[in-house]
Amino acid sequence: MGAQPAGPRGIEREKQIAAEAAAELVEDGMIVGLGTGSTVAFLLPALARRSLNIVCAATSPRTEHAARELGLRIEDVASIDRFDITIDGADQVAPDGWLVKGGGGAHTREKIVAGAAERFVVIVDSTKPVQALHSPIPLELLSFGVRATMRRVAPASLRDVPLSPDGGVIADYHGPVDDPAALAVRLSATPGVIEHGLFPPEMVATVLVGRGESVDRTDFTHSSSSS
């Protein structure tokens, strides 16, 4: 299992080893979805070092730029209808496989690419697993009627950040998350909510958690796959 990290340097090391373990799951000829965030930043060089014949698509301009700089072949997501594997981080991981994502505001794109994957692999450090999900839950909202939408998803607050790459307003829900499935249904059914950061277990194939100098792996047999 390894010891808990002593501080930020230890956490960064855990992100790195989780990302490197995920890179080993990628095989020659795969179409690979690349997530967004600090843990994915460690994935990109690990993938580049393997020199595989793969096609990648990124969920954010930042990831796309970094991947191209490392020599990875990047295609527009619009030209891809399925992925062999998508690899991304998470803000919270519950024991049953529910995730919270969107700390960086890219959860709509991340959910699309994760949902189109045969296998969605989540990479995190040891601070991200939780016993139960809790707020804040990231939201992407349509700018039209945003005040009315905010009232319907209350308690919530707008983030003081730029719009999403697709022009959405980024906000956070601050209420209880006792029943993630019910909350996900409520948020999805609210007019003006483009997407929320609750990712269901059915979407998740594997979680890799960096702990000290080792990686804990959990495979979820209930994950659904498309072909």
Distances (CA, A) of 84 to 78, 80, 165, 226: 16, 11, 24, 9
**Cα 15 from Cα 87, distance rounded (Å):** 13
User: Is residue 75 annotated as part of the catalytic site, yes or no?
Assistant: no
Distances (CA, A) of 134 to 74, 101, 129: 35, 12, 12
Given the residues 20, 64, 110, 195, the one annotated as active site: 110
Phi and psi, residue 44, nearest 5°: -60, -50
- Which of the residues are catalytic? 110
